[in-house]
Homo-oligomer: A and B are copies of this chain.
Amino acid sequence: MPTDPSDPEGAIAAAAKRCSNWGRWGGDDVLGTLNFLDEAKRREGAALVRRGASFSLAQRFDANGPQKGERRRTNPLHMMLATGLEAERGTQGFPHGIGGADDTVSMPLQASTQWDGLGHIFDHGIAYNGRRAGDVVTSEGDQVTGIETTAGLIAGRGVLLDVGRVLGDDGELPDGFAITADHLEATITAHGETARVGHGDLLLVRTGRLTRARREGWGDYAGGDSPGLSFTTADWLHRTEIAGIATDTWGFEVRPNEFDNAFQPLHQVVIPHMGLFLGEMWDLDALAADCARDGVYEFWLTAEPLPVTGAVGAPVAPVAVK
């Protein structure tokens, strides 16, 4: 719990000061905490492939997703340009009996399983590394920290902290549950040595919120109440020097937020000040079940965002391999 719930702005400013990475990798840096993820970490990650079992961590992208259209965030719309019906009917105009189907998608880049880019959130009009927000993200996209700048980088050692399974009932944390640094450490302790978290790791935190949405329907999964990281974890996220963190929730942070009147205050610290990459709406359930089974919480993780030029967020189809 933050010390003074009536003063999010003061708490944010203080945490931002403690956790800032501005200038840490130079004034031109666009990668933030991905700088922690180096080749040694990739070697370490690849060495974790023991069985060859792989796990998709992506939700399906379709019209049955969680979005409700708020702030024009709709669900992905998949539309066909040609179908098997025309092919069967033989009206496509191609020679020698070939036929084809073709399709399109329209979607908010943060409609489903996704990475937040560093241009997604600003603090008082300032973006990561101290740049003016309006110099970074215009109607033509993120001119500086567009998601395409991360191309090829997000592959390394992944660690799952299944906080839902360790601290929740039946594997799920309730809405409003604020995961603190103590909760994270307790989960590491419960999981054992393979769950240690440190420099350059890609951390996955499972709350069970998606599990519940799957069982009960989306409801307010997108934007509503949820378990999630406490605002107070900012220092822990900074100190551990992780390269990125992803959760199975819509918004990474606990909701309602832990201040009287606030909207995603932890984002305001970790994106523009730390340059931390946040993943949201990841599907961690199959991986978590496997980790619970074999007691191994580390794995090789590839989570390359779709490199839409200038994107401030991007869909991703992450794959964990153990």
A-side interface mostly:
mixed
A108 touches B81 (CB 8 A): yes
The answer to whether B134 and A84 touch across the interface, beta carbons within 8 angstroms, is yes
Known contacts A151-B317, A304-B319; A102/B312 CB under 8 A? yes
Q: Which of A53-61, A166-174, A208-216, A219-227 contacts its partner?
A: A53-61
> Closest CB of chain B to A310's CB: distance in Å?
6
| Interface residue total, chain A, C-beta cutoff 8 A | 116
Whether the Cβ atoms of A52 and B42 lie closer than 8 Å is yes
Does A189 count as interface, using CB distance less than 8 angstroms?
Answer: no
In the complex, A46 has a CB within 8 A of chain B: yes
CA distance A28 to B161 in the complex (A): 37
* B-side contacts of A39, CB under 8 Å: 51-54
Question: Is there contact, CB below 8 Å, between B311 and A78?
Answer: yes
Contact B82 A83 (CB under 8 A): no
Which A residues from 41 to 92 make CB contacts under 8 A with B? 41-43, 45-47, 49-56, 58-64, 69, 71-91
State how many angstroms separate the Cβ of A220 from the closest Cβ of chain B.
16
Q: What are the residues of chain B within 8 A of A50 when measuring CB–CB?
A: 43
Contact B308 A61, beta carbon cutoff 8 Å:
yes
Partner-B contacts on A (CB < 8 A): 8-9, 12, 38-43, 45-47, 49-56, 58-64, 69, 71-91, 94-110, 119-125, 127, 132-142, 148, 151-153, 155, 259, 261-265, 267-268, 300, 302, 304-313, 315-319, 321
Name 25 interchain pairs, CB-CB below 8 A, sorted by A: A8-B95, A8-B96, A39-B51, A42-B49, A54-B155, A56-B152, A69-B75, A71-B82, A72-B77, A82-B139, A82-B140, A84-B137, A85-B85, A85-B86, A85-B134, A85-B137, A87-B125, A88-B122, A97-B125, A98-B121, A98-B123, A99-B121, A100-B122, A103-B310, A306-B315
